Amino acid sequence: MKKRKIQWMRFTALFVAFVCGIPWIHAQLAVTTATLSGTVTDASGAIVPSASVKLSSVEKGIARTQETDSSGHYSFTQLPPANYLLSIQSGGFKAYQQKGIVLDAGQSATQNVTLVPGANTEQVVVNAQASLLNTENANLSADIDAKQVVELPLNLRNVYGLATLNSSVNNTSESQMLLGGGGPSTDDADQDISFLNFAGGFFGTSAYLLDGAWDTDPEWGAVDYVPSVDAVQEFKVQNNSFTAQYGWSTGNVVNVVTKSGTNAFHGDVYEFYRNDALDANLWFNNHNNLKKGDFNRNQVGGSAGGPLYIPGLYKQREKTFIFGLFEHLSLSTPANSTFTVPDSNFLNGNFSELLGAQGGVDALGRPIYVGQIYDPRSTRTITAGQVDPKTGLVATKTGYIRDPIQNNNINSLGPLDPIGTKLVNYYPKATGSGITNNLVTTGTNPAHSNEYLIRVDHNLNNASRLYFRYSYKEEFKTGTPNYWGDNPAGPGNARPNNRWNMAAGYSQVFSPTFTMNIMSGVEVWHETSTNQSRGFKPTTLGLPAYLDANSPEFPIVTVGGESPLGPLTNETVTNHGPIGSVAVDFIKSLHRHTLNFGFMFVEQEDDQANFFQSTLKSGGQFTTGPDPNAATGFTTGNGLAQLMLGVLDGGATGTTYNPAVAVHYYGGYVQDDWNVLRNLTLNLGLRYEIQTAPTYRHNVASVFNPTALNPIGTTIGQTLPGALQFLSDNQRASYDTNFSNWAPRIGFSYQARPNVVVRGGYGIFYPPSISCCFEASASGFASQTNIPYTLDAITPNPAVTTANPWPNGFIPITGNSLGELQQVGYGVASNFRQRNSSYVQQYLLGWQWAITPNDVLDVNYVGNHGTHLLTSSLNRSQLDPKYLPMGQAALNALVPNPFYGAIAPGDSSCALDQPNVVQSQLLQPYSQFCGVQENDVNTGFSNYNALQMNFNHRFSKGLTALVSYTYSKFLDNVEGNNSWSYSGNPGPANNYNLAAEKSVDGSDTPHSLVANYIYELPFGRGKAFGSNMNKAANAVLGGWEVSQIATFKQGIPIGVSGADIASYGGNPRPDVVGDVHVAHPNIHEWFNTGAFAYAPYGTFGTAPRFFSYLRGPGYQNWDTSIMKNWYFSESMRLQFRAEMFNTFNHAQFYAPQFGGETYTGCDPNAQAGCASSLGQITNAFPSRTVQFAGKFYW
């Protein structure tokens, strides 16, 4: 409670500091305002200088005036989004008025005016909006106005779903869901829907802004606070921004502006309701003869805005405006999942049904059967020509041998292990036949939230304006349903998720040609992950008592061939923030030049409490045979049997770690928008950025220096580079900050004809230089003790039992006392101190054609090239391929250990404390460690080329429409800096040849088409048909609207991965030995699994990281909204709407299984088909769902 109070005090203090403008607080882009400019001429085309120009908005209480300069040019900057009136007067000309100019956030609109000769007392009145042509810059953007925001069918009513109306934007959460995580009907989509790739940019490299303030989380690179749909005035996606104002991204910006009050009171109340009654059953529920799960989703709320008017106290209706919103959501979503659980025979120790045909004989002449399980404790060596003392048989070759378990009945070895047996009996009973995918369960994902928002805008005078907004959302959501009911070994997980977001802004017009805008904001996101077994005592299972205090949950038990027992993840408590932002932007007009300059400074903080979840692993490696070092060509061994025999082959326990990290960003820019000619504008800009490395509170972290000489080398008389170095007051940052990040930007816009504009641009952008989570090492401040399950990689360690998996004790918390000896004898996971800045070069060339005043076609070539891009990690201890010709036997052979005696007994997780060690350990880089993983590695490149076409029909005659098409190719050699959001190939096969990793990206979508429209049917009063209809008829036939979103995307590429058969640190892929396609792809066989085989020892496989020519199912979806409006007055109406998502109930399948379990438990020489789920589709997107809503507008 005390910690929470301190956090709130700090949160409030920081925000007060922001509003007061203290300069050390953060900054962000001022993109919530608009610009309107143009040139005034007479009928002959001659310029009209010194004309009086006035721009006003009644609803916002704004009125500004200026005179055209000597070039006839005028420019109004820092304008809040609104509906404006433009008035121009000049001697000898009729007065000009243009109504209905709607300006959006971030828009640079041009309105050239031709004056007509005549008296000033005469008026020329034009009712027209600003031109849709962009004649000011080369930026590409998609603007979604308030009507589209509230009336397009948005599944889950999530405003960030609008981003995918741009066809170049792909939602990588779809890729994540392809691997079975989450789903579009769960409340996870509140933030997870922002897993977006923008036109060849990696997820986590885009900027999310809310009212101009930073809304991007530093830990995972996506949005923090998601405002209600009914709180949003405008939604803007900028996926190529060549102005220098934009930074800390790849040039992709999502800008959301909330509603504000106007000079008249308006508001709405609403309810959106869904349940399972009208929904179609999930496809795989039907396939597995399961009924629909119970489902209810109810969202109620209301909003109101207007002038702050207090009778007798405050009567100025054009000074202060307020807006407020409350929204409540409750839902319970169906979910199903498939598990593999043991049948009754297995649980009784009888695995005879696994036995297949004889596949050969062993070195003692005994038959080898497919599926044979071997006695893990019988491992021994034999010599060719000599008698095996145990069996009396003569060996035909030299090597290792294990004895088969008679008839695969493990009871023949004696009593089974009581703890292993107790663990496996926590498995629920199968619901189907067979031994794989034999349990199909249905669960629910309950969630609820409350959202509060209030905003105040105040006009100090015609030249000064400020606003303040406060938003809070409290939310509870389900991480993983309790698929196994109350079983403590089930995967259930709950995730409370609360967020605060505040923003303030101030704009000042110093003169008609000089303006300033300041934006600031603070947000905090507090999330928790709690497993359903919280409080479970491991001693209940017979496990050691120390786990009750250190890890009071059911352990994560990984069993080869079966689904895991226990939770799927560690418990965490994470406080994202305070995250704050302040941006100061100035605009100065100088004749044909418009100068923009400003700066931003962002500080982001993140702290976590990671509760270590103990793990036990029984993959079955000690029950394979007969020779663990020689492949048989088929499957042997079984993880479940091994566990019931009390043998483990992995696992760990550890301590809670509470890191706290701060990251700072500084950016400054200058931009000159130069109107070289009336029809030619050049955009010349330069930005300078500094992204500081993370600093850790109290310096509780260390980083890896690959060139520092490790002091253990002196002890053993060798030169050993590579050491962890602790942060200190003299070196607080986790890597060396780069101070050379200059980002030039250039663009042009050429109006070749009145209705045709040619545009182009080039720019360099620096995306965030860190990725998910905390990349430095926690060694010394947190500990993980692995189970020392083997001493020679061949036989189980006899000291390790299920009753005492850690016989050597635990790695102590030592702080920084060990210095550069930290982690010697153990593994390391950290960033390296030296790194390059990631950067992306973007370029564009295209044209716009205004077909009519309300119709524009935009065609562009868009490209980008990324350099030094982040990937999550690389295994720097991978054995150099030059040693592979030595052969497995030699590399696995025990040799004298030079570290013996220098490392204390029991103080190593890879036998570096033993007299002998495997040869491969001494040959790998940094052999003093049991593996070195580099986090946040700048080794990637990318290349994206695309044709983007957009057709925009602005609202007229009851219709607004947007059609977007992208044809593209996206190549890279890494998975991006947050690979957990991707479609899943695990990483490089050979770290020594990263160029060989080049393939299409996991989210590559060559063809993408998205269309949307809103159409007011032309029936009823004031419409084309029935304009004089009586009230009764109009109540039935009038006021109908239809809106739709249609999405068509090619399937994502597939990448097949396999096990590291040599265990030397790579992520190998198989050989392609045949045609990967099948004649008729289906859910049981999407591709030819027989086309893959394990690559021979010493090779890395011929399969690419992702296949450009082998893809998952495409996505074809229609969402529809049908609305009926009853109008009671000009401002008061009742709306009923019926919305259908996946309107035509089209089966939308996930991609087939192609990674992860693909080769688990398979013999190295077996075909990939030995993994039964490989190539199969096991899940699908939701079937048709129906939502009803009622909204009352006033």
Please give the pLDDT value at position 185: 39
**Residue 52 in domain:** yes
**Residue 680 in domain:** no
**Three-state DSSP class for residue 795:** coil
**Residue 746 in domain:** no
Question: With a cut of 70, which residues of the chain have pLDDT below it?
Answer: 1-31, 172-189, 770-774, 977-986, 1058-1063, 1155-1172
- Cβ neighbors of 203 (< 8 A, separation 6 or more) are 172, 195, 196, 197, 221, 222, 976, 978, 981, 982, 1003
Please give the pLDDT value at position 346: 96
User: What backbone phi and psi angles, to 5 degrees, belong to 237?
Assistant: -110, 120
How many structural domains does the chain have?
1
Please give the pLDDT value at position 773: 56
Q: CA separation (Å) from 948 to 92, 281, 361, 406? A: 47, 37, 62, 65
**Residue 856 in domain:** no
Please give the pLDDT value at position 1155: 56
User: What backbone phi and psi angles, to 5 degrees, belong to 1174?
Assistant: -60, 130
Determine the Cα–Cα distance for residues 674 and 677; give it in Å rounded to an integer. Answer: 9
Look up the CATH number of the domain holding residue 43.
2.60.40.1120
| Residue 55 structural domain | 34-127
**Residue 50 in domain:** yes
Helix (H) or strand (E) holding 533: none
**Residue 54 in domain:** yes
Please give the pLDDT value at position 192: 75
Residue type, 770: I
Please give the pLDDT value at position 809: 84
Share of the chain above pLDDT 70, in %: 92
First to last CA, the chain: 43
> Do 183 and 335 form a contact (C-beta atoms < 8 A)?
yes
From the number of C-beta atoms within 10 Å of its C-beta (0-12, 13-18, 19+), residue 1152 rates as: buried
Instruction: Name the token pair of 886.
Output: 């030595």
**Residue 43 in domain:** yes
Q: What angle do CA 481, 483, 489 make, to 5 degrees?
A: 105
The stretches of 237-341 forming alpha helices (DSSP H) are 283-287
User: What backbone phi and psi angles, to 5 degrees, belong to 218?
Assistant: -70, -25
- Cβ neighbors of 311 (< 8 A, separation 6 or more) are none
Please give the pLDDT value at position 425: 96
**Three-state DSSP class for residue 310:** strand
Determine the Cα–Cα distance for residues 933 and 937; give it in Å rounded to an integer. Answer: 10
**Residue 97 in domain:** yes
> Do 837 and 769 form a contact (C-beta atoms < 8 A)?
yes
